[in-house]
């Protein structure tokens, strides 16, 4: 089943300014991915995530600007989120604002969601893709993480910087660019994309609280969400992504998280021409393909992260899926990137 992942074109706010600053041709860049300047200016126009990923990747390459995604984030504020932004500034503190993002992000971006994880004295804000590792997505991923860091400062105070940021890919820009744009420790080749903060930020009040708590807006949001409910395939794949590293991605556990019996989940998937085993395998291979081509994570660690007890089993599954061994796939893709 093909799922269409869309993002509001406001996610590209600032692109015309940066392209002009770098001496590029905006119309040519947009045309290359099937977009127009009118769609970009609309803000609420829905564009496919594949178009956004390609536009940033090709823009970074053609403009010789390896930190393009990080630069665009400097143009993004709460207002860029549209209706979602109006909802967030009504929340009393950052904790409830984070929870609102988890629930309502599809109002702005259907291609990902964010998860809040409590650590000892710290909190991890983890980004989880729905479109499963589109090749060349480094610029998009870096923009998304930088956007989150900027939104936290906009809502909670300019002093709120992450303790560190983690990317699942290798650096594509000079390390000095990451320090300049993000202002904190940055780690690469990690298991997931995330930001780590001191847990104290959750109690920070949202600075620009609106008094607009009108019933019409709440009713409108509920109506929108009713139409944005994820289909079963997307829900299962997303839960597998979140639980696979903990070895908690069994049929029984995923069904429990969905409030279903295991047999009911199997039956509903079969009605869509899917099987649970098929979805788990696809998630593993999509995740493996991303890490192998975009990061330098050791293959032994990657096999463990994906739930394989032996690297040989991982290598065999990877070869059967991609037609190449993980090491050969990495040489092919990283060699091209290095060149």
pLDDT bin (cut points 50, 70, 90) of residue 232 is confident
pLDDT for residue 335: 56
195 pairs with which residues across the strands?
A: 125, 165
What digits encode the pLDDT tens for the residues 179-201?
Answer: 999 999 999 999 899 999 999 99
**3-state DSSP assignment of residue 220:** helix
pLDDT of 115: 87
What is the mean pLDDT of the segment spanning 207-215? 55
Q: Decide if pLDDT at 213 tops 60.
A: no
Residue 338 pLDDT greater than 50, yes or no: no
Share of the chain above pLDDT 90, in %: 54
Tally of CB atoms within 10 A around 329: 18
Q: Give kind and range of the element (H or E) at residue 8.
A: strand 6-8
Least confident of 35-39, 218-222, 260-264: 218-222
Q: What pLDDT is stored for residue 15 in this prediction?
A: 97
Whether 218 has a pLDDT exceeding 80, the answer reads no
Q: Contact, 288 vs 302, CB < 8 A?
A: yes
- Taken in order of first residue, the domains within the chain and their CATH numbers are 6-203 (3.90.1520), 232-338 (1.10.10.60)
Confidence check: pLDDT of 217 > 60: no
Mean pLDDT of 240-266: 86
Query: 339 pLDDT exceeds 50?
Result: no
Secondary structure of residue 259 in the 3-state scheme? coil
Helix%, strand%, coil% for the chain, nearest 5:
60, 10, 30
Q: Please tell me the predicted confidence (pLDDT) of residue 241.
A: 81
- For residues 289 and 306, the answer to whether their CB atoms sit within 8 Å is no
Statement: the pTM of the whole predicted model exceeds 0.85 = no
Instruction: Report the distance separating Cα 36 and Cα 211, nearest Å.
Output: 37
Question: Is residue 274 pLDDT above 50, yes or no?
Answer: yes
- At 50-100, the pLDDT tens digits run 999 999 999 999 999 999 999 999 999 898 998 888 888 888 999 999 988
More confident residue, 200 or 234: 200
Would the pLDDT of 216 be above 50?
no
* Whole-number pLDDT of residue 229: 52
What integer pLDDT is reported at residue 211 of this predicted model? Answer: 47
How would residue 221 be classed by pLDDT, with cut points 50, 70 and 90?
Answer: low
Query: How far from 226 is each of 46, 105, 196, CA to CA, in Å?
Result: 18, 13, 32
Q: Pick the residue with more confidence: 172 or 243?
A: 172
Other CB atoms within a 10 A radius of the CB of residue 287 amount to: 23
Q: Name the pLDDT band for 4 (thresholds 50, 70, 90).
A: confident
What pLDDT was estimated at residue 153? 94
- Residues of the chain with pLDDT > 70, as a percent, come to 90
Give the pLDDT band of residue 307 (cuts 50, 70, 90): confident
Question: Could you tell me which residue, 211 or 321, shows the higher pLDDT?
Answer: 321
18: CB partners within 8 A, 6+ apart = 65, 68, 71, 72, 75
Quick one: DSSP state of residue 48? Answer: E
pLDDT of 209 > 70? The answer is: no
The string of pLDDT tens digits covering residues 117-164 is 888 899 999 998 877 656 789 999 999 999 999 999 999 999 999 999
How many Å apart are CA 138 and CA 144, to the nearest integer? 10
């Amino acid at each position: 089943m093909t799922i269409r992942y869309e993002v509001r074109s406001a996610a590209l706010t600032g692109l015309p300014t940066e392209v002009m600053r770098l001496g590029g041709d905006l119309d040519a860049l947009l045309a290359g991915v099937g977009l127009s300047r009118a769609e970009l200016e609309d803000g609420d126009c829905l564009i496919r995530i594949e178009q956004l990923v390609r536009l940033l990747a090709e823009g970074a390459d053609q403009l010789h600007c390896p930190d393009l995604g990080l630069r665009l984030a400097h143009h993004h504020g709460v207002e860029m989120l549209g209706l979602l932004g109006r909802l967030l500034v009504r929340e009393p503190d950052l904790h409830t604002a984070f929870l609102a993002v988890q629930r309502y992000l599809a109002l702005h971006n259907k291609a990902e969601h964010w998860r809040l994880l409590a650590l000892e004295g710290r909190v991890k804000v983890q980004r989880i893709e729905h479109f499963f590792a589109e090749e060349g997505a480094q610029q998009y991923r870096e923009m998304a993480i930088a956007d989150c860091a900027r939104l936290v400062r906009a809502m909670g105070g300019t002093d709120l910087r992450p303790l560190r940021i983690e990317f699942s890919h290798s650096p594509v820009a000079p390390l000095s660019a990451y320090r300049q744009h993000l202002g904190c420790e940055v780690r690469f080749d990690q298991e997931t994309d995330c930001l780590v903060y001191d847990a104290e930020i959750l109690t920070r009040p949202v600075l620009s609280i609106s008094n607009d708590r009108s019933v019409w807006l709440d009713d409108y949001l509920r109506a929108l969400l009713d139409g944005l409910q994820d289909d079963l395939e997307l829900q299962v794949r997303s839960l597998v992504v979140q639980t696979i590293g903990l070895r908690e991605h069994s049929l029984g556990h995923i069904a429990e998280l969905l409030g279903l019996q295991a047999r009911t989940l199997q039956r509903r998937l079969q009605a869509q021409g899917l099987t649970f085993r098929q979805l788990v395998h696809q998630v593993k291979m999509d995740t493996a393909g991303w890490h192998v081509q975009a990061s330098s994570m050791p293959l032994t660690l990657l096999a463990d992260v994906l739930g394989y007890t032996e690297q040989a089993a991982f290598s065999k599954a990877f070869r059967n899926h991609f037609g190449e061994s993980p090491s050969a796939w990495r040489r092919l893709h990283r060699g091209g990137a290095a060149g």
